[in-house]
């Protein structure tokens, strides 16, 4: 396993092409725009060496028998699935943000399942290749970016019907030594500070979309790969000071990126699907259900911080004993624990797959994420309600530090005499950054937009069985 410092050093050795705000980033570890995201992912390495969290953060590899970071593990029991959720909540509590390794974690487990099925039905050797790739990931403790979401173009058309064929990643050439792919992947969480990207199909595919049925792995700095770092909610604030960023060490969201694949070569040993379009939908749903499981873990860890910050703001404002404040805090806690309950349930109700790893209860996993698309907004709304308009009207940190205006801000933004004004400002900035902008958009659209969960809930609900229960009680013969 890598330490946090070794992770940082490993990123410095990579040479990805990354652009941000009109310039090229030379080192994601040392650039102020990307360093907070590196720090948050670094926590997943640091905590693996903390004896207090060893049981959550590490596992024994089913492939090599060696001790590994859990983020590279193939789930071997429902207990592993539960530990995953508990691990995500714990890291969310410590970072207050996205720590980015979940997407690759889920993509690895989904690929293990799907390649096994494709091999069984088509006589291919993808699963064998993927096992060797998994050993490589585990032995080197690599951070893998799961690359599913395509830019999609005209949503009314299938990939093969687009005016521009590159709007979905596709195979443009098959060679004796591998394939060449072209296209782009959007909203890529943690991409710029990952070691590898694992390309997955993004939708169900028909016979006319065979070239889009591709899964493969490649280094983030492979020739032809270009990353365009997304604008972050508090991006420019990182260049201005400490307070206004809100969460200066770990940022607020996952550093989402547009990753362009300009005729990128992938050797056959790193190709795990090549034209088997009939398995694309199952691939998408398997990955998505794993990923939707997460939201009652990582987002609840973040919610724990929001709730704590909100309760602290009530203290700082002098209102902790007001009954309506307590009621709103109770509601925030209820919303968070409901999400957590769903994630634990879908994990405990998981099952062993034919491939040998464990998979979540699909119905309950989709319930987790659909709840999250509402509850994180409601938790944020209540946080704003309790904290007050103060969080929206704070002056710049530079004004707080200035000789002329600093004393005025110190005087007129004071509240509870027992609390320094700077503490109140810092807590307000944390809340402001955690409850707005891309942080909420990710809660809504990460792991699929709400309609995708609704489709899965309807499909998995087994309505015919429920109709049968009703007919039996009503004494109606089918």
Radius of gyration of the chain (CA): 23
Q: Is the pLDDT of residue 189 over 90?
A: yes
Q: Is the pLDDT of residue 253 over 90?
A: no
pLDDT at 313: 93
Per-residue pLDDT reduced to its tens digit, 265-320? 999 999 999 999 999 999 999 999 999 999 999 999 999 999 999 999 999 999 99
Domain edges within the chain: 4-273, 292-473
Tokens representing residue 420 in the block: 């320094």
Per-residue pLDDT reduced to its tens digit, 422-449? 999 999 999 998 887 665 556 555 556 6
Residue by residue, DSSP assigns 216-243 as EEEETT-TTEEEEEPPPTTTGGGGT-SS
Per-residue pLDDT reduced to its tens digit, 85-126? 999 999 999 999 999 999 999 999 999 999 999 999 999 999
Which of the residue ranges 12-21, 128-137, 191-200, 462-471 would you say has the lowest mean pLDDT?
Answer: 462-471
Mean pLDDT value across residues 253-263: 92
CB atoms within 10 A of CB 411: 9
CA distance 465 to 450: 25
pLDDT at 5: 98
**∠ CA(18), CA(20), CA(25), 5° rounding?**
50
Superfamily of domain covering 4-273: Butyryl-CoA Dehydrogenase, subunit A, domain 2 (2.40.110.10)
- Give the list of residues 6+ apart from residue 398 with CB closer than 8 angstroms, or none: 240, 241
What CATH code would you report for 292-473? 1.20.140.10
Element (H, E) at 440: helix 438-445
Q: How far apart are the first and last CA of the chain?
A: 59
- Is 15 exposed, middle or buried, given 0-12, 13-18 or 19+ CB atoms closer than 10 A? exposed
Q: How many residues does the chain have?
A: 478
Identify the CA nearest to 317 among candidates 224, 205, 431: 431
Q: Which residues are catalytic?
A: 98, 102, 189, 256, 291, 295, 298, 442
Per-residue pLDDT reduced to its tens digit, 383-399? 999 998 888 889 999 99
- C-alpha atoms less than 13 angstroms from C-alpha of 251 in its C-beta half-sphere: 30
CA distance 205 to 201: 9
CA distance 57 to 48: 5
């Amino acid at each position: 396993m890598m330490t946090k410092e070794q992770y940082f050093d490993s990123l410095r050795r990579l040479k990805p092409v990354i652009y941000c705000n009109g310039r090229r980033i030379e080192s994601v570890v040392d650039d102020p725009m990307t360093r907070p995201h590196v720090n948050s992912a670094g926590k997943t390495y640091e905590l693996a060496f903390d004896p207090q969290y060893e049981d959550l953060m590490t596992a024994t590899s089913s492939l090599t028998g060696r001790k590994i970071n859990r983020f590279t593990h193939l789930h071997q029991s429902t207990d592993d699935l539960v530990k995953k959720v508990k691990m995500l909540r714990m890291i969310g509590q410590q970072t207050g943000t996205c720590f980015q390794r979940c997407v690759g974690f889920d993509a690895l487990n989904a690929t293990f399942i799907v390649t096994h099925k494709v091999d069984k039905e088509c006589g291919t050797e993808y699963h064998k290749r993927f096992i060797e790739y998994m050993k490589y990931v585990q032995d080197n403790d690599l951070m893998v970016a799961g690359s599913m979401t395509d830019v999609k173009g005209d949503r009314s058309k299938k990939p093969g019907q687009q005016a521009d064929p590159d709007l979905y990643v596709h195979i443009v050439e098959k060679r004796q030594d591998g394939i060449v792919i072209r296209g782009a992947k959007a909203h890529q969480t943690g991409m710029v500070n990952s070691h590898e990207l694992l390309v997955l199909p993004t939708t169900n595919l028909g016979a006319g979309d065979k070239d889009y049925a591709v899964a493969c792995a490649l280094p983030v700095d492979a020739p032809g790969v270009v990353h365009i770092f997304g604008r972050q909610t508090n991006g420019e604030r990182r260049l201005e000071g400490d307070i206004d960023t809100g969460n200066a060490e770990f940022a607020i969201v996952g550093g989402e990126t547009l990753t362009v694949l300009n005729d990128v070569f992938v050797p056959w040993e790193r190709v795990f699907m090549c034209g088997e379009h009939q398995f694309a939908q199952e691939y998408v749903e398997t990955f998505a259900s794993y990923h939707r499981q997460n939201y009652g873990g990582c987002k609840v860890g973040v919610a724990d911080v929001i709730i704590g910050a909100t309760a602290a703001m009530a203290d700082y404002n002098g209102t902790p004993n007001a009954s309506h404040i307590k009621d709103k805090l109770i509601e925030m806690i209820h919303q968070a624990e409901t999400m957590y309950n769903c994630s634990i349930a879908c994990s405990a109700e998981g099952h062993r797959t034919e491939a040998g790893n464990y998979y979540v209860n699909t119905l309950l996993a989709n319930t987790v994420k659909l709840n999250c698309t509402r509850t994180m907004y409601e938790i944020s709304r209540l946080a704003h309600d309790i904290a007050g308009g103060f969080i929206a009207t704070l002056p710049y940190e530079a004004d707080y530090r200035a000789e002329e205006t600093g004393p005025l801000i110190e005087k007129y933004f004071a509240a509870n005499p027992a609390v320094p004004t700077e503490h109140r400002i810092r807590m307000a900035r944390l809340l402001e950054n955690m409850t707005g902008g891309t942080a909420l958009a990710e809660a809504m659209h990460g792991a699929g937009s709400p309609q995708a969960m609704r489709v899965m809930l309807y499909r998995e609900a087994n309505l015919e069985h429920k109709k049968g229960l009703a007919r039996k009680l009503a004494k109606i013969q089918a």
